[in-house]
């Protein structure tokens, strides 16, 4: 089935007549759910079934941004506020074996809930390297200031989700940790050299087996002074595709 390369959201906990018509006629690539769409387990399960009936595809992509910590869309069902990626990064750095085991239990719970709700893509893990200059929009959402922790837990998260038949979206490629402003409100301009960026930020994303990656809305001045990464054919082709060896689907945030 040919679909438009766009992921849409919906207004509330049920599909309106207009939303059903839009899904059937325009056939967007997927639907992403937000907190406003999730009231109860039963209601959400009915909603995802209804979305898929409109498209006539039992595997139609339905996404959610359930990172835990500050970014949780499931908070009407249960709270994951204490369980940020940074929380699990600290556990891992204290005791690698025990930390990864606890993280596994958490991921298994989340995956089981998403499967029950009918959601098949979660936009995790956040693979950005925390630094002194990192804006607070990313702090707490990434695992660590240490690249080895991010790579280890991020790779584990991706492989575990895949085993549970939940697709992952690693973000924000090629790295948002170097930005000192919030890209939701202002374009971050990063002046680090290409080598510094690659060695600190970019290489964390190399050879990740994620189904999808989400691009960073950042202008890397020493690489492409005219285009932010999301719109830079040079960064996508030569860095994300070739240097970082990612051949999956790239998704842009809004």
41-50: pLDDT as tens digits: 999 999 999 9
This prediction has a pTM of 0.95
Q: What is the pLDDT of residue 21?
A: 97
State residue 142's pLDDT score: 97
pLDDT tens digits along 61-102: 999 999 999 999 999 998 899 999 999 999 999 999 999 999
Band of pLDDT at residue 1, cut at 50, 70 and 90: low
pLDDT on residue 245: 98
d(CA 208, CA 156): 10
- Identify the pLDDT of residue 169: 98
Cα dihedral 51→53→58→63 (10° resolution): 0
pLDDT at 3: 85
Extended strands (E) in the chain: 4-8, 28-33, 62-64, 121-122, 167-173, 189-190, 212-215, 219-220, 249-251
The percent of the chain in helix, strand and coil, each rounded to the nearest 5, is 40, 15, 45
Residue 148, class by beta-carbon neighbours within 10 Å (0-12 exposed, 13-18 middle, 19+ buried)? exposed
Q: What is the pLDDT of residue 242?
A: 98
**What order of strands is seen across the sheet that includes strand 167-173?**
4-8, 28-33, 62-64, 121-122, 167-173, 212-215, 249-251
Tens of pLDDT along 212-245?
A: 999 999 999 999 999 999 999 999 999 999 999 9
Average pLDDT, stretch 106-128? 98
Which residues neighbour 214 within 8 Å (Cβ) at sequence distance 6 or greater?
A: 123, 169, 170, 171, 172, 173, 250, 251, 252, 253
Query: What is the tens place of the pLDDT at every residue in 127-179?
Result: 999 999 999 999 989 999 999 999 999 999 999 999 999 999 999 999 999 99
φ/ψ of residue 137, rounded to 5: -60, -25
The two tokens of residue 47 are 């909603």
d(CA 70, CA 29): 27
Could you tell me what percent of the chain has a pLDDT over 70?
100
pLDDT greater than 90 at residue 254 = no
């Amino acid at each position: 089935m040919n679909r438009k390369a766009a992921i849409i959201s919906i207004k509330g906990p049920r599909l309106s007549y207009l939303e059903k018509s839009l899904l059937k006629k325009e056939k967007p690539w997927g639907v992403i759910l937000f907190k406003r769409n999730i009231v109860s387990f039963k209601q959400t399960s009915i909603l995802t079934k209804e979305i898929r009936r409109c498209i006539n595809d039992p595997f139609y992509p339905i996404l959610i941004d359930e990172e835990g910590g500050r970014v949780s869309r499931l908070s009407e069902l249960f709270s994951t506020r204490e369980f940020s990626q940074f929380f699990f990064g600290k556990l891992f750095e204290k005791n690698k074996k025990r930390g990864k085991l606890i993280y596994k239990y958490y991921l298994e719970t989340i995956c089981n809930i998403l499967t029950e709700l009918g959601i098949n893509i979660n936009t995790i893990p956040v693979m950005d390297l925390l630094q002194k200059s990192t804006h607070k929009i990313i702090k707490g959402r990434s695992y660590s200031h240490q690249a080895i922790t991010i790579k280890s837990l991020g790779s584990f998260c991706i492989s575990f989700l895949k085993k549970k038949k939940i697709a992952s979206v690693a973000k924000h490629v090629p790295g948002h940790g170097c930005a000192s402003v919030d890209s939701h409100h202002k374009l971050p301009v990063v002046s680090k050299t290409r080598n510094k960026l690659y060695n600190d930020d970019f290489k964390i994303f190399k050879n990740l087996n994620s189904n999808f990656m989400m691009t960073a809305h950042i202008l890397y001045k020493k690489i492409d002074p005219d285009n932010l990464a999301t719109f830079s054919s040079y960064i996508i082709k030569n860095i994300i595709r070739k240097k970082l060896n990612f051949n999956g689907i790239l998704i842009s945030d809004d």
